[in-house]
């Protein structure tokens, strides 16, 4: 039972919710545009996305375990799963779990190509998701330690995952995709920066060149605040470019939470004692609630 609990902990299932939500957003755009949802293809594509996410989690745990063991500020959203180490799971378990997931992904890819006929655009999106997810954690590229991993991850989760769902159901891309996902990309970058703040000391010690380490904590905090404000600016611009106010308006309900997050970051920058769990949780809520409200609006229109 303890081994099973550790395996579940290693998978970090709460992170899979982002892929599920953003995939639903892409399918919601297709439905909003008049497409009839093919539920068989929908769940096949969702399984592909989820297993890609899991493989990335496992690879990241495998290659980051030395630094994660040295992290004293672990939260549910940062610092690794804590499932690998003395008295816990061997490090090799994460590697073999990743290999197993990627094996299933290969089989699902064949099924999607046969049953969904996604065409060149769909194939390219799937290829970009695979390359970005795989090389996020795997040396020698290891985007996670270059300062560009956050941009790659945000683009995959907030843009490419909904793009895949849209192509599988609608057969093509549409400008609504950019209108609804680019604001979420900015919020996702802000969220990842909150994840990196508790890990900052350990990342510096192990020379892990995350975006926050490359920028420095002060510039990183300023970038976080800029990304939050940019998200709502992009959403407002999307309305002027034709996005229905009925879709955009609910997302503005989280603006007070964004302002509160900026205030919290500024307090920490001024020397206030941080509550890392609360900070990372509010970052997740800001991104997650905004994505949910946009998705819900698309599915109910």
Backbone angles phi, psi at 89, to 5 degrees: -80, 145
| DSSP, residue by residue, 138-201 | STTT-GGGTT-HHHHHHHIIIIIHHHHHHHHHHSS--HHHHHHHHHHHHHHHHHHHHHHSTTHH
Q: How many whole angstroms separate alpha carbon 128 and alpha carbon 300? A: 30
Statement: residue 4 has pLDDT above 90: no
Candidate from 55-64, 137-146, 248-257 with smallest mean pLDDT: 137-146
Query: According to the model, what pLDDT value does residue 147 have?
Result: 78
The larger pLDDT score, comparing residue 25 to residue 89, is at 25
> Does pLDDT of 232 surpass 70?
yes
Are 126 and 109 contacting, i.e. CB atoms less than 8 angstroms apart? yes
Q: What is the pLDDT of residue 243?
A: 93
- Give me the domains of the chain, ranges plus CATH numbers: 2-299 (1.10.600)
Mean pLDDT computed over 233-244:
95
Q: Which helix (H) or strand (E) holds 135?
A: helix 119-137
Q: How far apart are CA 155 and CA 163, in angstroms?
A: 11
96-110, 118-132, 207-221: segment of lowest average pLDDT: 207-221
Tens digits of residue pLDDT in 58-110: 998 888 776 666 556 666 666 667 778 777 888 889 899 999 999 999 999 99
Residue 98: both structure tokens together: 């990743």
Q: For 35, phi and psi rounded to 5 degrees?
A: -75, 145
Q: Which residues fall within 8 angstroms of residue 16, CB to CB, at 6 or more apart?
A: 50, 53, 54
Q: Kind and range of the H or E element at 52? A: helix 39-69
Question: How many CB atoms sit inside 10 A of residue 39's CB?
Answer: 10
Q: What is the pLDDT of residue 283?
A: 94
Q: Which tokens go with 135?
A: 């090389």
Judged against a pLDDT cut of 80, whether residue 285 lies above it is answered with yes
């Amino acid at each position: 039972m303890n081994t099973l609990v550790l395996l579940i902990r290693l998978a970090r299932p709460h992170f899979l919710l982002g892929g599920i939500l953003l995939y639903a957003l892409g399918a919601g755009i297709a439905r909003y545009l008049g497409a009839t949802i093919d539920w068989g293809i929908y769940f096949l594509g969702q399984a592909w996305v989820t297993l890609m996410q899991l493989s990335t989690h496992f690879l990241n745990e495998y290659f980051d375990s030395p630094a994660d063991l040295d992290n004293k500020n672990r939260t549910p959203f940062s610092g690794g799963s804590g499932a690998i180490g003395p008295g816990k799971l061997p490090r090799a378990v994460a590697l073999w779990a990743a290999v197993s997931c990627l094996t299933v992904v290969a089989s699902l890819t064949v099924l999607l190509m046969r049953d969904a006929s996604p065409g060149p655009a769909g194939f390219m999106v799937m290829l970009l998701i695979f390359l970005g997810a795989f090389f996020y954690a795997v040396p020698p590229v290891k985007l996670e330690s270059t300062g560009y991993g956050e941009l790659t991850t945000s683009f995959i989760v907030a843009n490419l995952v909904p793009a895949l769902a849209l192509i599988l159901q609608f057969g093509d891309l549409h400008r609504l995709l950019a209108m609804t996902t680019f604001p979420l990309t900015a919020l996702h970058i802000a969220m990842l920066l909150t994840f990196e703040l508790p890990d900052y000391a350990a990342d510096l010690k192990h020379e892990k060149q995350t975006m926050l380490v490359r920028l420095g904590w002060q510039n990183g905090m300023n970038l976080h605040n800029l990304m939050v404000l940019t998200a709502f600016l992009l959403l407002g611009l999307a309305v002027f470019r034709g996005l229905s106010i009925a879709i955009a308006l609910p997302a503005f309900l989280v603006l007070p939470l964004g302002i509160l997050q900026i205030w919290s970051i500024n307090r920490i920058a001024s020397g206030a004692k941080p509550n890392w769990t609360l900070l990372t949780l509010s970052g997740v809520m800001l991104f997650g609630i905004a994505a949910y409200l946009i998705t819900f609006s698309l599915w109910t229109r």
